[in-house]
Structure 1
Amino acid sequence: MKLTNLLSISVLLLLASCSPKVVTNLIKTYPNPVPADSVRVFELGETVPNTAEAIGRVSVIDPGTATKCRYNEVVHLAQEAVGKAGGNGFAITWHEEPSFWRSSCHQISGLMLYLKDNVVDTLRANPVQYAIDMNFVVARDKKQPERRNPAPANTFEVSLGYGWISSKIYDANNVSLGSKSGLEWKLGYEHIWTSGWGVGMQYSGFKAELPGGDMVLSYLAPEVALRTKFDKWILKCGVGMGLFLYNEP
């Protein structure tokens, strides 16, 4: 049995990673900046003080290739934005957790607050909390309009079928064996960011029975992928270079 290994250098484009996008919409500012760690955070469902004043909105969203976007990290980015505007409170009004099919980042949005005190009196008027409870607050600010039904972020692919080799095959005595059919298979994985670009790994193989043994072709390679989704179709393309194995009797 003769085994021929053809190895080429794997080339994988490195996508530039970046921090989550911070989008602010200010109504007013206060002159004295506040350290981020001094900005009080009100989680979803918590009540803000009665004297809370809304000075704007801030959203922390995934621009497509964000890293460092765990929940505490995106909250800290929002606290920094609030503190720069002179605020000392941040009320979260929207939180999207990482999803297998969408962004791998935590994304949040909420009100930038200026707090005179931390007193909560349920018997007194609380206009900011009322606006939150009545959903008068815009859920989120976006860098750009969100694409409808984005393509899945993670895709696993498995296929098995029957295939043919159109080229003529010759044995060691240079006798043509004709075109050969055989079993074909493919395994693949891709991770796509919201920008449409992503990375993945592909493995495919083909096996045909020949006199004296089996012929097996195998291919394994990383790839750079680009994918976009239409109403009924997903268009995908990818480029990769890797390892090719050829085994014949």
Structure 2
Amino acid sequence: MKKLHHIYIISAFLLSSCSPKISSLITKDYQSLKYDEKVVVLGLNEQQPANAEVLGVVKVRDTGFSTKCNYEIALDKAKLEARKVGGNTIKITRHKKPDLWSTCHRLDATILKI
């Protein structure tokens, strides 16, 4: 029985460690958006609209064991965090591409409501 318990714990750890780590600092939130509502992405070189309300910041990082962490997945994770707090736009503020230290795309983004 104890062996089975250890197998469950190890399996849960391995399954959760394949995803990128998401951390966010939310300063204001609204009602969550539906999972399929569009979230606009503003790139590094695009200006944040003057009328945008800042809801917080989200960071998508590598856990060290992440495997599913291409740019699209990192972007989807950031959009999901935005939807949770009612944000309909994210402004990418930092993008680190895979390198010698990490095979993952790493993003910082500001969550906005326009």
So what's the TM-score if we normalise by structure 2? 0.81
Q: CA offset at residue 73 of structure 1?
A: 0.8
Query: For 1:84 and 1:36, how far apart are their aligned partners in 2?
Result: 12
Structure 1: tracts of 5 or more residues without a match: 1-14, 116-249
Q: CA offset at residue 37 of structure 1?
A: 5.1
Structure 2: tracts of 5 or more residues without a match: 1-12
Amino acid at match of 2:74: V
CA contact (8 A) 1:34 1:88 kept: no
Which residue is equivalent to 2:112? Answer: 113
CA contact (8 A) 1:70 1:105 kept: yes
Which residue is equivalent to 2:55? Answer: 55
Pairs within 5 Å for 1:194-205:
none
Amino acid at match of 1:109: D
Higher share of residues assigned helix: 2
Pairs within 5 Å for 1:11-90:
16=14, 17-35=17-35, 38-90=38-90
Which residue is equivalent to 2:8? Answer: none
Query: Which is higher, the Rg of structure 1 or of structure 2?
Result: 1
Instruction: Give the superposed CA RMSD.
Output: 1.6
Q: Deviations over 1:28-87 (max 9, x none)?
A: 100242435511100111112221111100000001101111101100100000001111
Change (3 A) 1:36 1:71: farther
Aligned length: 100
Higher share of residues assigned strand: 1
So what's the TM-score if we normalise by structure 1? 0.38
Which residue is equivalent to 1:209? Answer: none
Pairs within 5 Å for 1:1-249:
16=14, 17-35=17-35, 38-99=38-99, 101-115=100-114
Q: Deviations over 1:112-154 (max 9, x none)?
A: 1011xxxxxxxxxxxxxxxxxxxxxxxxxxxxxxxxxxxxxxx
Query: For 1:57 and 1:77, how far apart are their aligned partners in 2?
Result: 13
Change (3 A) 1:76 1:84: same
CA contact (8 A) 1:91 1:110 kept: yes
